[in-house]
Amino acid sequence: MAMDKRVVAVLDAIVNDPSMTGAKLEEQFCLTRKQLSYTLKKVNDYLESNHFDPINRLKTGKLHIPRHVVEHFRQNQTAESEQRYLFSEEERGQMIIFMLLTRSERLSLLHLSSSLGVSQNTIINDLKKVRGEVIEHGLEINYDRGNGYHILGEELEKRYLLLSCLRRVLEIPVAKNIIAQYNNVMSEHLETVGNIFSEIEKRFKIQFTDRQLQELIYFICFVLHRIESGKNLVTIPDSYADIIRSREFTLMQSVISKININSENELVFLTALIQSSNIQSIADKYFHLDTLLLESVVAVVDSFEKISCVTIKEKNELIEKIYQHWKPAYYRIRYHLANTSSVYDLVVKEFSHLHEMVRRAALPFETLLHCEIPDEEMAFLTVLFGGWLTREGVIHQIKLQKTAVVVCENSATISTYLYLTLQVLFPELHFTQMLSRREFERFTGHYDVVFATTHLNTSKMVFVVNPSIGAIHKSAFRNHVISALQGVDPNIIQIEQLLLIFERFGNIIDHQGLQRALASYIYAENSPASSVGSFEPPTPSLIDLLGKAHVKFAAELPGSWQQAITQASASLLQSGVIEPRYVKIMLNKIAEEQPYIMLADGVIIAHAGVDDGALDTGMALLRLPYKIAFADYMQADIIIVLATHNPQKHLKALAQLNEFLEFYDGGNVIRRAQDESALINEITRHI
């Protein structure tokens, strides 16, 4: 009997930590109690089929693991894991491509089926399914009796495909065992290539992420194997032409010469690979400065401020952070070395409105590239901006207590997404560092708590977290952490404990549904625990902020544009959303800075900063009979005043407003409305 990815991972976690409890497993792997029960059953099915005693889950939640199970699997973990691992259909597809591109012998159906543990008919079906991905690279899978299965096409496209495939293979739990099978390749090159990358980090004054470094070392080993087999780069794209004149190319020449690569095309390709790689940190930012790229970052940040109506503090620091990401991303896009490891779906789901604003703000990047930015790269930009808004708006409003660091071996995208998620989930903690495992091992700074994607050796409290933790499990994880740090909070009710009680007195038909309903009730916005217990920040809609009380149609023109802004702000003052100074700061900002605040023809949005007297989040609208001049640089008859005390709370409403104006001719809808109630109905109908 074989096991799938989840079952293998759970068994390995239990074997490596026999004190593991059911609650910890649910937390670590984002499982419901029912899912864990099913997974443990599959674990036990495997154990019993191989004549081992089963693992028992006690009523206390602890696990009883037979000693001989622990001893056997610890001693034989590497050899056993691959033998008992069941590849998914997608994993088999990537493994087939990987084997075809790294083969040193003839590959037949028999070879592929025996290696992947499935029938030859299954392999035939898998081959049909992966042909599409291969064709996208201008390649094709071919078979002949002499060579067996192999891939035909340009060498550069094969390299692209190998890189993409390797990234996915390394995510398979038994990846290291798979790579270890290539002794003829690894033994010759692994140490040498590892030393070369240590020198590259030193000379380029950078540090790669843990995952990126592993990926690069393995990939270069396989590239060397291909070169030694006579599979050289004959031609390179025109987009690579500038590389020869770059400082990185000069440095690469002296480093790569140690592995006997002298071909200019190969050196150019490897330089492109380094330029497009994710880095954890830069020792000398001026060493990597590119004026054109820096200017595009500044333009994007400025554009984001205008679109989001947020004034970013410490803007230069944010610009540096985005630049550090954007430079390798620019080369990845330009050289078609796309990063397949993405949290795009998660970002769009969790931060949809912010994501749309970042996409609009990123137009200077697309202008520079002369193409659209791939979804995975745009997702990372969203995470960067989201993390910054959280840092500036939420974290600093709460009394900071314990200090936390985040340790993640995954890609920079995943790491930053996790960092942002934890910041929002635990606002009472002060998150100071996002570290790779290598950085953490050398880290000497102060910290009280560690959040990590894997177990670490440290005397401080470590909480293992899944980077893609689901919404249902966020409250449970938060409660677990808070209880461990501060003792059990009487306001925090453990949902899983409630479910156990319910199960004693009746049958639960929909376990997951009940779990969601309980979470929704217990952690509702008006409950004591909700202020910090729910991951999702309140995200009011446009109608929530722009109610009838905040909409006014003026019968007469005001005496000045200042009076128009003041009149538009009146309802926000009366309802306690803003202080009087907020209006004064808005007026001074428009008069002195003359910001571009035109949303559509004749529609402007006025606002100040989160620290300028905003007590809550709200919007107000004033419609004038005719357009008037504002500060002698714009004309408007519709004034919208925005106030927010949280840099993210208004984003949903602002996104809906922009959509209403852009796609539904919102400006004229406002002008044609008979009265305030009719306008609210029109907006409600369109959003």
| DSSP-assigned states of every residue in 249-295 | HHHHHHHHGGGT---HHHHHHHHHHHHTS-EEEES-GGGG--HHHHH
Question: For the segment 6-20, what is each residue's pLDDT rounded down to a tens digit?
Answer: 777 788 778 777 777
Give residue for tokens 């670590």. 28
Helix (H) / strand (E) element for 433: namely: strand 430-435
Task: Please indicate whether residue 83 or residue 677 has the higher confidence score (pLDDT).
Answer: 677
- Our measurement of the distance from residue 94's CA atom to the centroid of its chain's CA atoms, rounded to an integer in Å, reads 23
Return the structure tokens found at 446.
Answer: 């102060």
Integer angstrom CA distances of residue 469 from 181, 263, 389: 33, 46, 21
Least confident residue range of 168-182, 274-288, 318-332, 491-505? 491-505
Q: How far apart are the first and last CA of the chain?
A: 53
- What backbone phi and psi angles, to 5 degrees, belong to 680? -60, -40
Strand partners, 281: 207
Integer angstrom CA distances of residue 384 from 311, 509, 537, 549: 16, 41, 18, 36
Kindly state the average pLDDT of the residues 119-125.
Answer: 92
Rg, C-alpha atoms of the chain: 29
Distance CA 530, CA 485 (A): 18
Give the model's pLDDT for residue 96: 94
Question: For the segment 140-155, what is each residue's pLDDT rounded down to a tens digit?
Answer: 999 998 889 999 999 9
Question: For the segment 27-84, what is each residue's pLDDT rounded down to a tens digit?
Answer: 777 777 777 888 888 888 888 877 788 888 877 778 888 877 777 776 555 444 455 5
Distance CA 360, CA 651 (A): 13
Give residue for tokens 């400065």. 289
Question: For the segment 205-246, what is each residue's pLDDT rounded down to a tens digit?
Answer: 888 878 788 888 899 989 988 888 889 998 888 888 888 888
* pLDDT score of 125 more than 90: yes
User: Would you place residue 534 in the very low, low, confident or very high pLDDT band (cuts 50, 70, 90)?
Assistant: very low
Kindly state the average pLDDT of the residues 608-617.
Answer: 89
Pairing of strands 430-435, 279-282: unpaired
Distance CA 193, CA 216 (A): 9
**Is the whole-model pTM more than 0.75?**
no
CA angle 545, 609, 677 (to 5 degrees): 20
Least confident residue range of 437-441, 493-497, 636-640? 493-497
Cβ neighbours for 637, distance < 8 A, ≥ 6 positions apart: 602, 623, 624, 625, 626, 627, 628, 671
Closest by CA position to 289, among listed 251, 255, 336, 248: 248
User: Would you place residue 251 in the very low, low, confident or very high pLDDT band (cuts 50, 70, 90)?
Assistant: confident
Strands of the sheet containing 598-600, edge to edge, are 551-553, 618-630, 634-643, 603-607, 598-600
Kindly state the average pLDDT of the residues 262-280.
Answer: 85
